[in-house]
Amino acid sequence: MGNETESIGIAGAGLLGRLLAWQLLLRGHRVSLFDAGTRAGVDSAAWTAAGMVAPLSEAVVSERPVYDMGLFALAQWPLWVNQLESEHTLWHQQGSLVVSHPQDEAELSQFHRELQYVTETADGYQWVTRPELHDLEPDLSDRFQRGLLLEAEGFLNNRELLSQLLTTIERLGGDCHFECPVNVDEGILYSAGQQYRFDRVIDCRGVGAKPQQPAVRGVRGEVLHVHTREIVLHRPVRLMHPRYQLYIVPKPDHRFVIGATQIESEDRSPMSLQSSLELGSALYTLSPAFAEARILEQPVNLRPTYLDNNPHIETTEGLITVNGLFRHGYLLAPAVVKQVLAEIAGEEDTPFARFLQRPIPNASQGAGHLSSEPLSQEPLSKEPAHD
Ligand SMILES: Cc1cc2nc3c(=O)[nH]c(=O)nc-3n(C[C@H](O)[C@H](O)[C@H](O)COP(=O)(O)OP(=O)(O)OC[C@H]3O[C@@H](n4cnc5c(N)ncnc54)[C@H](O)[C@@H]3O)c2cc1C
């Protein structure tokens, strides 16, 4: 289609659907957006997510292109949020801090070694001493002897971002349909006996695509939201532990998000007692000031994931399927959106094209069916882990 504008139907108004709708409208396309859930997006993984953009933290559990796309995200998110009108700060970039209790120091040292190995440089992170830790986060427990500051990492006020994206989409003339589940085909969306025809359809339904795309699976994640005025944090903090790794992300209005479990299950039922105890007690060991924090929410959702835990874009005439952002949605979305926009514009490949356009892995075909690039080695344990 090249420079021509198109009519585009987008299935799914989670993270990818909203970003793509916004960017396509800015490029003059006519966009209709359909979601099975509500305007707020509470059913999307994007709503449940902590919103961290943490390429170094993720580098040790991902393939190299995930790290490279994460670096791209660190440059792209500030540009994007500057174009959105919000009275709230949507993007924070003061790094993140990784700590461990003295008895778990081996975990922190191992994380450091893995960072060195994966990134091949010492750029972007540094050890901080106990007094430096205190300067960075005065309210953290003084039990931490040292920490790793991952300097460039950032995080989003993701729920406000989703809201602002929708406001902007509607202001730009996007045609939005909520509580309207759809099935997809080339150039067609089907909903409740109706057919909607477009030049092109983009399938961004995350785990909701599974009935039509069995290769997608959901990976359960549980988080705690607490409220307290007893402690202030300026950046995400990760606590290394032999059995689980907790992160805590400061959000507006004295709210903190603590997460997250990573469980091979598509069960969306409420948080288990074990997860609640483990997240809560790890939080308390980060600082006893959390003892009186009030639990506001215990949201649970599924991360949309392919067999290799990597994102994939599949393009046929009239249909682009984009899925599998797993635990890295906010980290990968800028690069994934750039690639989809490039495909629609008929532009040259982006630097991430080769990685994103690899065939979607299918369990029955075996790894030999894939390209020779290595699969992620990330273990998906039943134990809670961080994302
Ligand atoms: C607990 C947890 C913590 C996370 N933390 C982070 C983090 O800190 N940083 C990070 O980068 N990533 C994080 N993620 C991952 C991130 O949330 C996802 O990768 C991202 O949201 C995927 O985006 P998506 O648009 O593909 O899917 P989603 O955001 O899930 O959106 C899919 C949308 O499709 C809609 N839909 C489903 N079925 C249909 C249908 N039939 N018709 C129409 N609409 C439909 C859904 O209602 C939903 O709105 C986290 C995820 C979880 C669960």
Nearest ligand 1 atom to alpha carbon 12: 34
What is the arithmetic mean of pLDDT over 136-156?
Answer: 93
Residue 385, pLDDT > 70, answer: no
Highest mean pLDDT pick, 110-119, 178-187, 280-289, 344-353: 178-187
Residue with CA at minimum distance from ligand 1 atom 6: 49
pLDDT higher than 70, residue 381: no
% of the chain residues with pLDDT over 90: 85
Q: Are 69 and 320 in contact (CB under 8 A)?
A: no
List all residues whose CB is within 6 A of at least one atom of ligand 1.
11-17, 34-37, 41, 43-46, 48-52, 181-182, 204-206, 208, 221, 223, 259-260, 301, 303-304, 323, 325-331, 387
> Residues 62-92: pLDDT tens digits?
999 999 999 999 999 999 999 998 888 999 9
Q: Average the pLDDT over 218-223 and give the result.
A: 98
Q: Are 177 and 36 in contact (CB under 8 A)?
A: no
Element (H, E) at 219: strand 217-222
**How far is the centre of ligand 1, averaged over its atoms, from the C-alpha of 126 (Å)?**
32
Using the atom order of ligand 1, give the atom closest to the CA of residue 191: 42
What does each C-alpha distance from 56 to 86, 88, 125, 128, 204 come to in angstroms?
A: 28, 26, 8, 16, 26
Give pLDDT tens digits for 157-192: 999 999 999 999 999 999 999 999 999 999 999 998
Q: Where in the chain is the domain with CATH 3.30.9.10?
A: 96-151+218-303
Q: How many CB atoms lie within 10 A of CB 4?
A: 10
Strand 146-150 and strand 96-100: the pairing is antiparallel
CA–CA distance, 275 with 329 (Å, rounded to integer): 22
Going by CA atoms, what residue is nearest to atom 50 of ligand 1? 49
Q: Is the pTM of this model over 0.85?
A: yes
Sequence-distant (6+) residues with CB within 8 A of 221 are 45, 48, 259, 260, 261, 262, 263, 300, 301, 302, 303, 327, 387
Say how far apart CA 156 and CA 141 lie, in whole Å: 25
Task: Determine the number of helices (DSSP H) and then strands (DSSP E) in the chain.
Answer: 10, 22
Pocket mutation for ligand 1, best pick of 23, 44, 155, 222 (most atoms within 8 Å of C-beta): 44
Distance in angstroms (rounded) separating the CA atoms of residues 52 and 337: 18
Q: Looking up tokens 């949507």, which residue turns up? A: 90
Ligand 1: atom nearest CA of 247 is: 8
CATH code for the part of the protein at 1-91+155-210+306-359? 3.50.50.60
- Token code pair at residue 125: 């992170």
Cα–chain center distance at 190: 28
Q: What does the pLDDT read at residue 2?
A: 54
- Determine the distance separating the centroid of ligand 1 and the alpha carbon of 364, expressed in angstroms: 26
Give the pair of three-digit tokens for residue 105: 């120091």
94-143 tens-digit pLDDT:
999 999 999 999 999 999 999 998 888 778 999 999 999 999 999 997 88
CATH 3.50.50.60-classified regions of the chain? 1-91+155-210+306-359
Indicate the CATH number of 96-151+218-303 among 3.30.9.10, 3.30.1360.170, 3.40.50.300, 3.75.10.10: 3.30.9.10
What whole-number distance in Å separates Cα of residue 77 and Cα of residue 154? Answer: 9
Contact 160, 253 (CB under 8 A): no
Residue 70 CA neighbour count, 13 Å, CB half = 27
**Mean per-residue pLDDT, 260-284:** 95
At residue 242, the pLDDT reads: 82
Distance 235 CA to ligand 1 centre (A): 23
30-34 and 7-11 beta bridge pairing:
parallel
pLDDT given for residue 225 in this prediction: 98
As a whole number, the mean pLDDT across the chain is: 92
Ligand 1, atom 37, residue with closest C-alpha: 208
Nearest atom in ligand 1 to the alpha carbon of residue 331 is: 11
